[in-house]
Amino acid sequence: MSIIVNFINTKVLPKILVFVNSKGIIAVKDGMLSILPLTVVGSFFLVIGQIPSKDINNFIASIFGEHWTEPFMQVYGGTFAIMGLISCFAIAYAYVKNEGFEPLPAGVLAVSAFFITSNSYVVAPISSEIIDNTVSKAWIGGQGMISAIIIGLVVGYIYSLFLRRNIVIKMPKAVPKTVAVQFTAFLPAACIFTCALITYALFKAFGQTTLLEAIYSLVQVPLQGLTDSLGGMIAIAFFISFLWWFGVHGQSIVNGIVTSILTANAIDNTKILAEKGYLDLSNGGHIVTQQFLDSFILLTGSGITFGIVFAMIVAAKSKQYKFLGKAVVFPTLFNINEPITFGFGIVLNPIMFIPFIVVPILSGLLVYFAFVIGFLEPFSGVMLPWSTPGILSGFLVAGWKGALLQAIILVISIVGYYPFFKKMDAIAYAKEQQEALAANS
């Protein structure tokens, strides 16, 4: 065991961490974090605009007229439906900010580059008529997500490169700094626009397509399919726990990589619902979305450590764990469990390895199959901050069925961790007895 642990710690983890610490991944993570208000708050308006009950809908329509949902769907149109574009801005911004330069111009340039590479017309769905001077919300929303990341990163990179090499227009000293700063972005802007133009021209000339469309079908669709599969779900659950067991923030790292794709899955779901009026697996609904991860796999914290907290309060013999149990009730409620992973001792603790990996995977399987048999409908509406307390979060994302599944997961956690907890508690108790004995003699 210790040989394997040592190998992973010295050979494998550093490589993963180099990747995780790379400027690109960090910029994507920071950028995606900044769009959280759009998804979380925007989702509540979407839910009001898409009340699943016909009776309630008809009732409200009888008062406010049948178009009463339209203003609410406007909020959807300005949040979820433009997520790609906003991400593009945020990622370029985050990249340049982390490089230590004034980031606002880079964000602005990224938005321009995004539009330069996109079509400036829409093909009408039935008549195939080309409508000029229009922007398709499909491509600035979820479908453009991966392109948005790529464009945001490339723009951020080019912009930083120009500033680092000091390839900027320099103004005479007499010019006030606030004015001079405006000129800084001119040369990088010229380069970025030219690159975007060439990109557009190349994709048109050789594929009769655009960067966005090509990336969508070649990269994003396969990635979305991958995360949405059973294997993808298990891999996500596994790596979060696995990295945490080595003392590395697995949730933050895995999220940095999958959040953009899981968010695209969630946006797909909302789009299907908004366009077709219903959503299930047969019309393209995705099972694994950000809600799946935040509200189920990370319930009470990475590794679903509720069972440990419960056992510490109910069954601990050692003073150490009795005390810790009381101390962690509050953070556990909000899905924070660093005091458990470090304080109870999960990190690098061979006793706790198995339940810490297995409990979240089992719970993920339970939820996954709840979708497959049709017990749950794909998550469409509410997106919650990951710190939303359990049961409540289940209820908000999936009604009573979601709350019930979370309750079952908590039971899985109690049962799964109990024998391992007993072992840990017995060790701690024996140590305390020995120390007491030594102190008395």
Contacting positions for another protein (CB under 8 A):
17, 20-21, 26, 29-30, 33, 97-98, 100, 244, 247-249, 251-252, 324, 327, 331, 334, 336, 338-339, 341-345, 347, 387
CA-angle at 356, arms to 354 and 357, nearest 5°: 70
In whole angstroms, the minimum distance from the beta carbon of 128 to another protein comes to: 46
> 402 near 382, Cβ under 8 Å?
no
**Going by C-beta distance under 8 Å and a sequence separation of 6 or more, which residues neighbour residue 296?**
363, 364, 367, 394, 405, 406, 409
Task: Name residues whose C-beta falls within 8 Å of residue 124's C-beta, 6 or more positions apart in sequence.
Answer: 130, 131
CA dist., res. 301 & res. 334, Å (int) = 8
Whether the CB-CB separation of 386 and 33 falls below 8 Å is answered with no
Tell me which residue of 229, 203, 232 sits closest to 218, measured CA to CA: 203
* CA geometry: angle 77, 83, 87, nearest 5 deg: 155
- Other Cβ atoms closer than 10 A to 229: 14
What's the closest the beta carbon of residue 391 comes to another protein, in angstroms? 20
Pick the closer one to another protein by CB: 333 or 408.
333
Least Å distance, CB 430 to another protein, is 19
C-alpha–C-alpha distance, residues 238 and 358, integer Å: 8
Adjacent-strand bridge partners of 122: 131
- Would you say 97 or 137 has its CB closer to another protein? 97
Q: Considering beta carbons, is residue 18 or 437 the nearer one to another protein? A: 18
142 or 250, CB closer to another protein?
250
Using the minimum distance from each CB to another protein, give the nearer residue, 164 or 204: 164
| Nearest distance, CB of residue 245 and another protein, angstroms | 12
Give the type of residue at 326: K
Task: Give the nearest distance from C-beta 324 to another protein in angstroms.
Answer: 8
Which of 416, 143, 166, 162 is closest to 300 using CA atoms? Answer: 416
Minimum distance, C-beta of residue 214 to another protein, in the bound complex (Å): 31
Residue with smaller CB distance to another protein, 245 or 292? 245
Shortest Å, Cβ 276 to another protein: 36
DSSP state letter for 142: G
Comparing CB distances to another protein, the nearer of 293 and 398 is 293
Q: What is the 3-state secondary structure (H, E, C) of 13-52?
A: HHHHHHHHCCHHHHHHHHHHHHCHHHHHHHHHHHHHHCCC
Residue 267 CA, chain-centre distance (Å), reads 12
Q: How far is the CB of 257 from another protein (least distance, A)?
A: 14
Which CB sits closer to another protein, 21 or 433? 21
Place of tokens 């709350």: 403
DSSP 382: -
Residue 24 CB, nearest approach to another protein (Å): 14
- What is the nearest approach in angstroms of another protein to the Cβ of residue 384? 15
Q: Are 272 and 283 in contact (CB under 8 A)?
A: yes
- The residue (of 81 and 149) whose beta carbon lies closer to another protein is 149
3 state SS of 235? helix
Nearer to another protein, 237 or 243 (CB): 243
341, 362, 340: which is closest to 409 by C-alpha?
362
